[in-house]
Amino acid sequence: MFKPFAERSIEKMKEVLMTPEASGPDVHYYMIRGGKDKTNITVWECGMVGREYIKTYGHYHVGNISETYSIIQGTGILLLQKRRVASDGQPINDEIDSFKALKVKAGDKIFIEPELGHLIVNTGDIWLVTSDDSPVYPDDVDPVGLPGHADYEAVKVMGGFAYFVIEQGGHPTLVKNPKYKIVPEAQII
Ligand SMILES: [Fe+2]
């Protein structure tokens, strides 16, 4: 039986930060995975890494897996991005067909369609806590820290999502990730 707890360090997060050399908390978020039966709990540290808010790494799902997130406490911004699909059916990592940045808060329940890459940014002064129902496969190499239902590589190669969420004039603001070739205009709603 695997230990159901893992933490995401700043070392790993440097792969997807707007400013990888910026200093921030040692651990950006904590995960307790119970899978579909017990649910998964994620706890975000609050604060910044440079000008960027603390966020989860972000991933796409492998296969046809949807996910429902419940916000238990705190406030944040959910980023959803959909990749363009090539004629051979393969998604194109640096071409984004649709991008959404949605404000979320305690009490919200969000259904995430299978093809949407997702991450959540903690924009509040307290720990952001969510519950979700994605699966856990005990035979994965790292079932809690890097679950096999999630594709992190496609985000790693792009150095993060299509937009970063930074603090500007006291408010969260979107900044385009220059590594993407095609990105629709977006704003926080
Ligand atoms: Fe997910």
pLDDT in tens, 142-182: 999 999 999 999 999 999 999 999 999 999 999 999 999 99
pTM exceeds 0.95, yes or no: yes
Strands (E), 64-170: 67-73, 75-85, 91-105, 109-112, 116-122, 128-132, 150-151, 163-168
Give me the chain's average pLDDT, please.
97
> Cα(15)–Cα(133) distance, rounded to whole angstroms?
26
Q: How far is ligand 1, taken at its centre, from the CA of residue 86, in Å?
A: 23
Task: Determine the pLDDT at residue 2.
Answer: 84
Domain assignments of the chain as residue spans, ordered by start: 5-176
Give the phi and the psi of residue 166 in degrees, each rounded to 5. -120, 165
User: What percentage of residues in the chain have a pLDDT greater than 70?
Assistant: 99
Fold of the 5-176 domain: Jelly Rolls (2.60.120)
pLDDT of residue 105: 98
Helix (H, G, I), strand (E, B) or coil at 132: strand
For residues 82-108, average pLDDT: 97
Decide if pLDDT at 55 tops 80.
yes
Average pLDDT over residues 85-90: 96
Specify the pLDDT at position 71: 98
* DSSP H or E run through 42: strand 40-44
Distance 69 CA to ligand 1 centre (A): 9
Q: What is the pLDDT of residues 116-141, one digit of tens each?
A: 999 999 999 999 999 999 999 988 99
Q: State the distance from the centre of ligand 1 to the C-alpha of 173, rounded, in angstroms.
A: 23
- Cα of 49 from ligand 1 centre, angstroms: 23
The whole-number average pLDDT for the span 28-42 is 96
**Which residues lie below 8 Å from residue 169, measured CB to CB, with a gap of 6+?**
none
CA distance 121 to 100: 13
